[in-house]
Structures are given as structure tokens and as C-alpha cells.
Amino acid sequence: MAKQKTINNEKVNMKKTRNNTTKPLAELVYNKAIREEIEERVRDRYLKRINYLVGANNELMSELEQYERVRKIDELAPDDEV
């Protein structure tokens, strides 16, 4: 009976040791997955914002170029003053 108790205690100790070593590992894996998910969300959000701003900048640049072309044409056109 004493031998059986010793064997059972050893099994319990092994389970505790296994849990103590796997629990931190599981926490690390979980934390890494959460961190990667957060980074992906932030990256996506900022990429959308950057793309929006680049598009708006391109649109403004087109309007500016168009304005400059019109202005240049007006400067080159002869005055109708008599």
C-alpha cells in the first residue's frame, strides 16, 4: 500500500511539473497570437488611412496641375484690350 501511495504521489508530482512547464508556454503562445492580431489590425487600419490620404493628395495634385495649365494658357493668350 505504501508503494502504491508513493507511485501515486510521483504521478501527481509529474502532472504538476508538466502543468508548470506547459502553462507558461501556453501563455506565451496565446500572448504572441494576441500581439500578432493587434499588430495586424493596427497595420490594416493605418494602411487604409495612408491609402486614403495618398488618394486625396493625388486628387489635389491633379486639381493644382489643372489650375496651373489654365493659368498658363491665360498668361499666353493675347490681351483683348484696345
C-alpha cell at 42: 493596427
The pLDDT tens digits of the residues spanning 16-69 come to 666 666 788 889 999 999 999 999 999 999 999 999 999 999 999 999 999 999
5 vs 53: which has the higher pLDDT: 53
The pTM assigned to this predicted structure is 0.51
Place of cell 508556454: 25
Q: Rounded to 5 degrees, what angle do the CA atoms 52, 53, 56 make?
A: 90
Residue with cell 506547459: 22
d(CA 70, CA 15): 81
